[in-house]
Chain A
Amino acid sequence: MEFAWNEAEEAYRAELREVIATLPGDWWDAYAPHGPSSPRLMEHARTFNARLAARDLIVRHWPREYGGQDASAWQQIIISEEMWSIGEPRSSLYLGANWAGPAIMKFGTAAQKQKWLRAIAGGELLWCQGFSEPEAGTDLSNMKTRAEPVEGGYLVNGSKIWTSYAARADVMFLLARVGGKGKGGVSCFLVPMDTHGIEVRPIPGVHSRWDFHEVFFTDAFLPADALLGEEAGGWTIVQTIIHYERIGAGRYEKARRGLDHVVGRLKERGVWDDPVVRADCAAALALVEAARLQTYLVIDGRAKDSDPGAETYLARFAMIQADHAVANLSSAYLPDLLVDGADGHLRSQFNSAITAGIAAGAAEVQLNMISGRHLGLPRGA
């Protein structure tokens, strides 16, 4: 049992911080509070990601043949901690590095690997995720968007909703149905967002004006090589990537740094001596560190090539609780700093906590999974 980072991991973190140090001086005021899908941050991400790529920092945990350095899964969580905790300056590059890339490695053709993986490692692609639909959010297998086989490829019709990053992403990891019902028929496609027949409309949200979108497909033609894996074999891919999607972003680290920032503000205001305030902050810290350790348990399994288990869902639920505990402190004790651009750091944590229990699978879905896979309870009627 060992709870410390090794030298290589510490060195990697230090390198990442050198690149982070190049972020604009008004990062917490003008970029981070508006979220990683905001226009300004996404535009800046292209420059920032090129800097990371120039030092081979993006996918160290990938095999060398795909642009990585055969580093362990721990390096993936280190870059996630460093980036997510400051508002994710990579923007949606992380979708490619965390789970779209590994899915392509596992299920893609040689040509797909050649096309996509080097581009991810090179920091060239911002991704979006075409999963949820108006009638298929938590119940993902209820999706209706269809990909009809035609000569040379597929014609896609339907719509996706609550799609983060869509307006400025380069490529979508799309789920669409090629016949079948339920989980059968679901297929995965890698879709350039400039494909003719794709229309993106923004949906302003409470957490960000720029995060959510609706994406419409009207006879959008995808060539045959856009299909990832087997036709109608998409659910297997979803099951594989879902563990990486749910445990990938270092939310606990953002919560921890947000909590440190809250305490700093409370000290400035002279209320830190209040024992209730101190106790609330300590309780939030315990939640954050519990979430961190449960996440690390998942990463430890990945580093050892173990099959993912129920720990993923336990860790995700712990992370949701930690995120909210910290954001709630801002609301309870510093609400005036959440408005009018008063404190971008607080606002960034507040906004990302709002999404914690919904994004990457609702909190209640995590509890369902824990119930079945960890406790072994029978399915409901």
Chain B
Amino acid sequence: MDFDFTPDQQALREAIVRIVDDNRDLPRSGGVVEPRACHPATAMEQAFMQGGYLDLALEPGCGAVEAAILVYEAALSPLVMELGGAALVAPLLTRKALPRPVALARVEDLPRGVRFLAGARTVLVDCGDEVAVLDMTGREVAALEDPFAYPLGRLTAAPDLTSAQRLPGKGGELRRLWRIALALEAAAAMEAAVRFTTDYVKQRQVFGRPVGSFQAVQHRLSADAVKCRGVYWLAMKAAWSGSPLDAALAALHAQRAVPEVTYDTHQFNGALGMTLEHALHCWTFRLRWLMGEMGGERTHAADAATLAWPDAA
């Protein structure tokens, strides 16, 4: 056992953190954050592309753990960039870099709403046993007006997958990788929301003392911190192990943690946290979408139960 990154992984993480930190400023109007639900990470995206980070998982000596480091650290930013599909799922599933952004979708969600579908150049579609690799060229997508801090879209016509490349027998692998990415993104967004809230309650005074000095606040934020770290380590282990059970547990634990973390962090930011000028929503409204992705916790729970305690043959 060794919970530290290797020197190479540590160097990689430090380089990623520098890029994320150098490009995390939210656009502002006057003194406040420009009130938009979703803030794209344009500069961060450029920096990652120029540095070749998006193909990291395909580099010799690299793989899921390195991609996981990238996905997690970037998702701590209040700015949004599609990385889970392009940098983790697609290269590890297909062993090649697909045109990005890469959206991930269950087939039934394509006409309803899919994260990053607006603007996606590729969609990996979970069709059960197989995966459809959908080239989005020429396909009509309606961008969805929404409160969620992701760009969402839906296909305007019923999905025609007949022309899509098929990856037979890869459905399980897609779900495994998607769950890792989902858990990492949720772990990071929860961690960032808790950190943001912690900073706020240290400053904000009520009844003559910081909000964060009240035990009712401290205990809930502390319990949330335990959830954040639990999801993080489950996701990192899942990235390392390649186990479908580990991935299902990580996604399950992540989605189950979201309601309390989003509730607590909004409660402790009060009315300010309900405004788009306050950055909290940049993480919590991503989380509210992630909570239901892939069909929500029931799908991970069902798979985890089957994998952990298989029925006798």
Asked if residues B302 and A260 are in contact (CB atoms below 8 Å), the reply is no
Known contacts being A1-B5, A3-B241, A317-B222, is A289 close to B234, with CB within 8 Å? yes
- CA distance in complex: A5, B246 (Å): 17
Asked whether, in the complex, the Cβ of B226 is within 8 Å of the Cβ of A318, the reply is yes
In the complex, residue of chain A having the shortest beta-carbon distance to the beta carbon of B201:
A377
A299 (CB) vs chain B CBs: closest residue: B1
Q: Does B198 reach chain A (CB closer than 8 Å)?
A: yes
- In the assembled complex, the CB of A274 is this many whole angstroms from the nearest CB of chain B, namely 10
CB-CB < 8 A to A297: which residues of B? Answer: 3, 233
B234 touches A285 (CB 8 A): no
Binary interface encoding of chain B residues 1-36 relative to chain A, with 1 for a CB under 8 A from any of its CBs, else 0: 111111001000000000000000000000000000
Say whether B4 contacts A1, CB under 8 Å: yes
- What's the minimum C-beta distance from A239 to chain B, rounded to whole angstroms? 20
Q: Could you tell me if A374 and B225 are in contact, using CB atoms closer than 8 angstroms?
A: yes
> A283 contacts B301, CB within 8 Å?
yes
Name the one of B198, B229, B302, B311 contacting A377, with C-beta atoms under 8 angstroms.
B198
Contact (Cβ within 8 A) A296 B225: no
Contact B3 A275 (CB under 8 A): no
Cβ of B73 within 8 Å of any chain A Cβ, yes or no, is no
Q: Is the CB of B1 within 8 A of A371?
A: no
- The interface centre, meaning the residue of B4, B233, B297 with most chain A CB atoms within 10 A of its CB, is B233
- By beta carbon, the residue of chain A nearest B252 is A286
A191 to chain B, nearest CB (A): 36
Asked whether, in the complex, the Cβ of A279 is within 8 Å of the Cβ of B305, the reply is: yes
Q: Indicate with 1 or 0, residue by residue over A342-380, a CB within 8 angstroms of chain B CB atoms.
A: 000000000000000000000010111011001111111
Query: Nearest residue in B to A281 (C-beta to C-beta)?
Result: B305
Output the nearest chain A residue to B249 by Cβ-Cβ distance: A286
User: Which residues of B are found within 8 Å of A275, using beta-carbon distances?
Assistant: 298, 302
In the assembled complex, the CB of A278 is this many whole angstroms from the nearest CB of chain B, namely: 4
Chain A nearest Cβ from B62, distance in angstroms = 13
**Residues of chain B with a CB closer than 8 A to A291's CB:** 230
CA–CA, A367 and B65, complex, Å: 30
**B230 and A378 form a contact (CB under 8 A):** no
- Contact A293/B198 with A1-B2, A282-B305 known, Cβ cut-off 8 Å: no
- 9-residue interface stretch from B110-118, B143-151, B210-218, B271-279: B210-218
Binary contact track A266-297/B, C-beta < 8 Å → 1, others 0: 01000010010011011101110111011011
Interface size on A, residues (CB 8 A): 48
A283–B225 CA distance with the chains assembled, in angstroms:
18
Chain A minimum-CB-distance residue to B239 = A1
Chain A residues positioned under 8 Å from B202 (CB to CB):
376-378
Question: A367–B219 contact, CB under 8 A?
Answer: yes
Q: Which residues of A contact B209 (CB under 8 A)?
A: 378, 381
A283 and B256 contact, CB distance less than 8 A: yes
Partner of B212, one of A1, A366, A378, A381: A378
Cβ of A8 to closest chain B Cβ, rounded Å: 12
- Chain B residue numbers with a CB within 8 Å of A380 are 213-215, 218
Whole-angstrom CA separation of A275 from B305 in the bound complex: 9
Q: Is A238 an interface residue (CB 8 A)?
A: no
| Interchain CA distance A260-B217 in the complex, whole Å | 36
A290 CA to B236 CA, complexed, in Å: 11
Tell me which residues across on chain A come within 8 A of B231, comparing CB atoms.
290
Any A CB within 8 A of the CB of B304: yes
Which residue of chain A is the closest to B254 with respect to CB atoms?
Answer: A286
B304 touches A285 (CB 8 A): yes
Chain B 63-114 residues near chain A, CB threshold 8 A: 65
The answer to whether A314 and B305 have CB atoms under 8 Å apart is no
With A5-B1, A371-B222: A377-B213 Cβ-Cβ less than 8 Å: yes
Contact partner of B301 (CB less than 8 A), chosen from A74, A279, A377, is A279
List A contacts of B298 (CB < 8 A): 275, 279
Residues of chain B within 8 A (CB-CB) of A281 are: 305, 308-309
B221 within 8 A of A: yes
Give the complex CA separation of A22 and B198 in angstroms. Answer: 52
- Find chain B residues with CB under 8 A from A2 CB: 1-2, 240
Tell me if A226 counts as interface (CB < 8 A to partner B). Answer: no
Other-chain contact of B253, A5, A286, A303, A370 (Cβ < 8 Å): A286
B300 interface hit (Cβ, 8 Å)? yes
A334 interface residue per 8 A CB criterion: no
Closest A residue to B251 using CB positions:
A286
Shortest Cβ gap from B8 to chain A (Å):
11
> B7 CB to closest chain A CB, in angstroms?
12
Query: CA of A368 to CA of B229 in the docked complex: distance in angstroms?
Result: 17
**27 A/B residue pairs, CB under 8 Å, sorted by A:** A1-B9, A1-B240, A5-B1, A74-B1, A278-B306, A279-B297, A282-B249, A283-B253, A283-B256, A283-B301, A286-B304, A290-B233, A300-B3, A304-B4, A314-B229, A318-B229, A364-B219, A367-B219, A367-B223, A368-B215, A368-B218, A371-B215, A371-B222, A374-B222, A375-B218, A375-B221, A377-B201
Q: What 5 pairs across the A-B complex have the smallest Cβ distances?
A: A290-B230, A370-B222, A371-B218, A278-B305, A293-B233
Contacts A1-B9, A275-B298, A282-B305 given; 7 further ones with Cβ under 8 A?
A1-B236, A1-B240, A3-B237, A263-B309, A275-B302, A282-B252, A300-B3
Binding site for A on B (CB under 8 A): 1-6, 9, 65, 194, 198, 201-202, 209-210, 212-215, 217-219, 221-223, 225-226, 229-231, 233-234, 236-237, 240-241, 246, 248-250, 252-253, 256, 297-298, 300-302, 304-306, 308-309, 311
